[in-house]
Each structure stands twice: as C-alpha cells, then as structure tokens.
Structure 1
Amino acid sequence: MNDTQVTLVGYVATQIDYKETVNGPAARFRFAVTPRYYDRKKESWADGATSFYTVWARRSLAVNLAGSVSVGEPMVVHGRLRVREAPPDADGNRRISAEIDATAIGHDLNRGTAAFRRVVRTDVPLMLNQKAAVV
C-alpha cells in the first residue's frame, strides 16, 4: 500500500468517543503532540507549537482503547495518516484536518508504568480454537 504510516508520541486531549456501528465498534479521540527542542539562546528545553490529530480506532482496538485510556495520559499512536480538507466556510476560509487510522495504540512507558491484561476472546468458534492448538 502507498499509505503514509506515522508514529506519534503525545497525550490524549479528549475523552474517548466509543460507538457501536453497523461495521463494528469504533472509537475516536483528539491527540495532542508537542515537539520539544533545545533553545541554545536560553540554554534550556522549550515546547514547540502543539499539533492536534483525530485518532480513529476500529474493532477490538476500539473496545480495548475505550476500556484502557483516559484524558491526559501519555500515548504512542501508530497508523495511517489521512489529511482531509473541509469545504470553505461562509467567509471562504478552508479547514484542513489530520486524522490517524490507528493500527496500534499504547501507553508511553518513558513517562510512566502500565499493567497489561490480555483479553480472552470468548466469541471464537470452537473449531478455530482447535486448529490453533494443533498448529
């Protein structure tokens, strides 16, 4: 695929918006990414301009995200970058938004600890479980 894959490190900026859709579970949230750089004149670290992204998660990632993440937590998000342009408003201003279709999301362990709990799937057919055990 020719999709642009990105990995972002930042903070959860909004509550997780979880919904059950006809295509399965979906969740979204706003993600804040603030670059840091060393300011040689001040001889200290400084924050750059914050960028905000809408992160989308689907299926089991959406379910696990909704049960695991809160506002303000440091996260790492990996997925496909989508840049969308909205129609001009009444004043002729164009709006552009950046969205991430996430394939992986996790807590940033540089900034804290986490306790992982494996999800045990109970909806897998018995036949599939038996094949997996044989392989």
Structure 2
Amino acid sequence: MTETVAVRGTVATSPRHIVPEAGAPITSFRLVTNDRRRERRSGATVPDAPSNWFTVTAFDELAVSAAACIARGDPLLVSGRLCVRDWEGEQLGVTVEIEAEAIGHDLTWGRSEFTRSTAGIRLPAAGGAVSDAPGERPDPAAGQGDPTGAGP
C-alpha cells in the first residue's frame, strides 16, 4: 500500500545519516504524533488520541538537509509516501514508514530560518541583478527582482 500523507509530530530519535559507497545519502528518524487537547474544567493538557509512530526516511538532497537541521524533540511537518510493511522476526509485526518528499519545522512551536542549499541556487541571467546565494535574498525595493523567483 502506498499513499501520500502529511503528518505533524515530534522527532523521537536522533536522525541517523548514512552515505553508502554506491548510492544516495539517506537520513532516517522516528516521528511520534502527539495529538493533545486542553480539558475545559481542569485546564490540563491530555492526550486526544493514542500516539502513532512512524519511521521517516529521506533521500538525496532532502537527506542532507534533514541531517543538518533536525534534532530529537523538534516539532515537524512531514509529507511523503506512506508505506505499511509486515515484518517477521521472533514475532510478527507491522512497520509504518514515510518516504519523505518534504520536511519542515512546525512554526506553531517556534521559529526557523531558511537557508537555500547550493543545489537550489539559480544563476543570475546575463545582465540581471538577481542573486540567490545562500543567506542572500533579492531586495525588490532595490530593484533586484521578485523574491519569489516568479518575475514579470
């Protein structure tokens, strides 16, 4: 079974990053959902539903960025392909995995700063003043182009 899902949760394990000799970088970590609600009478926060656990796996450039930016305890939003797999060992079990297509911090709980990776840099057109160098954003007020990259 493969479906696209979006999950909001907390990083439960330190991300594990590997770069195989012949292959793309891979980063994986466990994500736990933590749906909670506030009780009206007591004001206490209580679980709204049981927690769900997912193994999140990222590949290529997303894996490199995830390894550099994600830590245990971070609140995240993850979207990707849901894979449910049966496994057999000393007992039978089911693993729920998300092959991540996008990962981002949940800004409900804090602040984050975006830095464009060198793989995503657009080179300026001949005679153009647009620069997407890491840490540098075009200033539309200074006539340096549209910061969205859409342009006229």
SS of the residue aligned with 1:109?
Answer: coil
Structure 1 gap ranges (5+): none
Matches within 5 A, 1:1-135: 3-21=2-20, 22-37=22-37, 45-47=45-47, 48-89=49-90, 93-121=91-119, 133=125
Percent sequence identity over aligned pairs? 31
Structure 2 gap ranges (5+): 127-152
The TM-score normalised by the length of structure 2 is 0.71
RMSD between aligned alpha carbons? 2.7
Max Rg structure:
2
Paired with 1:23 and 1:72, the residues of 2 have a C-alpha distance of 29
Look up the equivalent residue of 1:28 and give its one-letter code.
Answer: S
Paired with 2:94 and 2:42, the residues of 1 have a C-alpha distance of 34
SS of the residue aligned with 2:19?
Answer: strand
SS of the residue aligned with 2:66?
Answer: helix
| Alignment length (residue pairs) | 124
Q: Higher relative contact order at CA 8 Å, sep ≥6: structure 1 or structure 2?
A: 1
Paired with 1:55 and 1:133, the residues of 2 have a C-alpha distance of 38
Paired with 2:41 and 2:113, the residues of 1 have a C-alpha distance of 41
Could you report, residue by residue, the CA deviation over 1:30-77 in whole angstroms, capped at 9, with x for unpaired residues? 001122246578675421321111000000000000011111010000
The TM-score normalised by the length of structure 1 is 0.79
Paired with 1:112 and 1:26, the residues of 2 have a C-alpha distance of 26
1:23 shift after superposition: 2.0
1:4 shift after superposition: 0.6
More strand by share: 1
Change in 2 beyond 3 A, CA 1:41/1:87: farther
Following superposition, which runs of at least 4 residues in structure 1 exceed 4 angstroms of deviation?
37-45
